[in-house]
């Protein structure tokens, strides 16, 4: 079965319920209650967006968001932002370790929070673009967009462990 790759300007979408939308192609073909998801949520944020129906079956894939009309692009990004909303850490306020379990008290763009990292070898991943993804003991995700943009103290607490 071949995948239906389309360009962003082939469709018009209407947002329903934050992460769901109805889609109409300019050919007249209509889909309802579709859920857009990133095929590359870590490495390609604005490419290859798949649209799934309520059964989880893929209907089509948008190659690049950038090709969409600005208004449509904004709607799609809004839905994706809702789905992929993870707190971005802006400061590591407190770091402690007990029994190999790390306790991080952080400031994020969504407020302050404290979480545990149980397996720090597996739970922190730094990318070449200086981004760090973190997974806590409850499988919640956090992101540090650029480790070198954090304050010196936070850097000092985090970097040695990467």
**Closest Cα partner for 39 from 29, 51, 30, 28?**
51
Binding of residue 152 to another protein (CB under 8 A): no
Hey, what long-range contacts does 48-57 have (CB within 8 A, 24 or more apart)? Answer: 49/76, 49/80, 51/23
Hey, what long-range contacts does 107-111 have (CB within 8 A, 24 or more apart)? Answer: 108/142, 111/87
**Interface region with another protein, contact rule CB under 8 A, candidates 22-30, 62-70, 131-139, 147-155:** 131-139
**Interface region with another protein, contact rule CB under 8 A, candidates 6-14, 67-75, 112-120, 145-153:** 112-120
Binding of residue 94 to another protein (CB under 8 A): no
Q: How far is the CB of 161 from another protein (least distance, A)?
A: 6
Binding of residue 130 to another protein (CB under 8 A): no
Q: Binder to another protein among 101, 127, 130, 151 (CB under 8 A)?
A: 101
Nearer to another protein, 31 or 115 (CB): 115
**Closest Cα partner for 48 from 61, 29, 30?**
61
**Closest Cα partner for 96 from 113, 112, 122, 116?**
116
Q: Please, what is the end-to-end C-alpha distance for the chain in angstroms?
A: 42
| Contact footprint for another protein (CB under 8 A) | 17-19, 41, 56, 82-87, 98-101, 108, 110-113, 116, 118-119, 121-122, 137-141, 159-162
């Amino acid at each position: 079965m071949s995948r239906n790759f389309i360009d962003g300007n082939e469709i018009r979408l209407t947002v329903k319920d934050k992460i769901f939308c109805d889609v109409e192609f300019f050919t007249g073909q209509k889909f309802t209650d579709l859920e857009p998801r990133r095929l590359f949520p870590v490495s390609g944020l604005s490419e290859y967006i798949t649209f799934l129906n309520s059964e989880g079956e893929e209907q089509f894939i948008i190659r690049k968001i950038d090709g969409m009309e600005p208004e449509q692009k904004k709607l799609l990004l809004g839905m994706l932002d809702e789905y992929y909303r993870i707190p971005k850490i802006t400061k590591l306020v407190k770091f402690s370790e007990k029994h190999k379990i790390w306790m991080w008290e952080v400031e994020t763009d969504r407020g302050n929070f404290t979480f545990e990292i149980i397996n720090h070898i597996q739970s922190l991943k730094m990318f070449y673009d200086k981004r760090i993804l973190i997974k806590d003991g409850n499988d919640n995700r956090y992101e540090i967009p650029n480790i070198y943009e954090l304050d010196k103290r936070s850097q000092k607490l985090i970097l040695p462990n990467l």
